[in-house]
Amino acid sequence: MTPEDLFSQANQSIDPGKPPEPVSNLPQKITDASKLTAAYAPYRTYMEQQGKSLNTIKAFLGDIRLLRKYFAEKDENPTLGDITTEELNAFLHWLCYERKNEKTGKLIGCKPKSYARRVTSIKSFFGWLFETGVITANPAAAVVQRSARAPLPTILNPTEVDRLQNTARDMLWSTRKPDARPYLLVTMLLQTAMKKNEVMNLALSDIDLSNPREPVIMVRYDDPRYAHKERKLFLRPDFTPVYKQYLRKYQPKERLFECSPRNLEYVLSDLAEAAGLGRGRVSFEILRWTSAVRAYRFGMPPEALRLKLGLSPISWRETFDKIKKLAAPGM
C-alpha cells in the first residue's frame, strides 16, 4: 500500500465534524519550527511502525536528506513549517536538471524510477507531519506524481552495424597488425545481447566448441539469487575461427577477457571511431539493445527473446515495449 493509499484510508473513517486523528503518535520534540534534521529519527520510527522494509526506510530517509542537501546548497535551512509546495517542486527540478556530482561537477540527473520514488518519499514525509499535527498545511499534497518514462535506448541502424562489422573484420584480417579482439567482441555482443558484467565474467570453460558449427556460451552467476539469469546462448559458426585466433594472440588463462571493463569500452569506442560512427556511439548497452531489436525483427518469439536477455517476466514488460517501438518502421 502506498503512502497516499494509507492517508486516504485513514481519512475515510474521519467524521467531518471532528478534528482528524493522527495516523501515529505525535512525534515528541518536533514542531513546525523544527528543522528537517530533527524529524529524521521520528520519521524512521513511524515507518518502522508501518511495517516498511529496511530498504524502503533507507531510501525514503535518503530522499529527505537530499531535500536537506538541496536547501544547504542554497544556504538555506528552513523550518518544517516554512517549506512550501513551490520549494518542493524546485527541489524535484533540481534533482532532474541541476544536481551535480561534487567531485566531477557533472550533472547527475534522476532516473524515472528514482524520481517517482522521491515524489512518494516527500508525500509520505510531509503527509506524516501534517497528519500528526506538526504542520498545519501539507505542501506535498499538490506535488504531482508525474509519469517519468525513460527515453528509448539508442541502437545502431543496419548500415551502422555493417560499417562496424566491416571495420572489425578489416582489423581481423590486417596484414600489418591483425587483431581478433574487436571482431570477437562485437560479433559476440550482436549475437548474444550479453551485458557487460556477463561478458567480463565469462570463463574459458563457459565456451563450448564441441560442435564447431554451433558454438555455445553459458552465462553463469555465482550468486544463487540470480540463478534465473543463467542461460545457454548459441552463436553462428563464424565465431569459432575468430575465437581460436583470439586465443592464439592473447592466450587467456581463465577468463575470456583478462582485462578491465574500461579496456573493452575503449576497444568499442576506438572501433566506432575507426568505422566513422564517432566515439561513444558504440557501447555494451547500445549493442545489447541493437541485438535484441534485430532478433525481434528477424522473428524471434517474445518468450525466447526474454530468455535470451536473461530477464524476469516483470522486467520484460517494459523492455519488450521498448523493443517493439524501436523495431517499428521508421525507427
CATH of residue 204's domain is: 1.10.443.10
Query: At 59, which amino acid appears?
Result: A
- Give the pLDDT confidence of 112-169 residue by residue, as tens digits: 888 889 999 999 999 999 999 999 999 999 887 665 555 788 999 999 999 999 999 9
Question: Containing domain of residue 310, as a range?
Answer: 158-327
Coil vs helix vs strand at 231:
strand
Radius of gyration of the chain, Cα coordinates, nearest whole angstrom: 26
Q: What total number of domains does the chain contain?
A: 2
Residue 2's pLDDT band (cuts 50, 70, 90): very low
- Give the pLDDT confidence of 194-241 residue by residue, as tens digits: 999 999 999 999 999 999 899 999 999 988 888 889 999 999 999 999
Residue 198 lies in a domain: yes
Grid cell at residue 189? 555482443
For residue 76, the domain's CATH number is: 1.10.150
Lowest-confidence region among 24-33, 144-153, 170-179: 144-153
Cα 49 from Cα 237, distance rounded (Å): 60
Residues 123 and 166 in one domain: no
Which residues, 6+ apart, have CB-to-CB distance to 270 below 8 Å?
182, 279
* Residue 13 confidence (pLDDT) above 80: no
> What are the DSSP E strand ranges found in the chain?
207-208, 216-219, 231-234
Q: What is the pTM of this model?
A: 0.59
* Residue 25 confidence (pLDDT) above 80: no
Task: Give pairs for 223-226: CB < 8 Å, separation 24+.
Answer: none
What percent of the chain stands above pLDDT 70?
89
Phi, psi for residue 35 in degrees, rounded to 5: -90, 165
- Give the pLDDT confidence of 272-326 residue by residue, as tens digits: 999 999 887 899 999 999 999 999 999 999 999 999 999 988 889 889 999 999 9
Residues 108 and 202 in one domain: no
Residues 106 and 69 in one domain: yes
> What is the distance in angstroms between the CA of the first residue and the CA of the last residue of the chain?
39
Residues 85 and 124 in one domain: yes
Domain boundary residue among 115, 131, 147?
131
Residues 20 and 83 in one domain: yes
> CB neighbours (10 Å) of residue 76?
11
Residues 170 and 310 in one domain: yes
- 178, containing H or E segment: none
> What is the average pLDDT value for the chain, to the nearest integer?
87
**In the prediction, which pLDDT does 27 show?**
57
* Residue 331 confidence (pLDDT) above 80: no
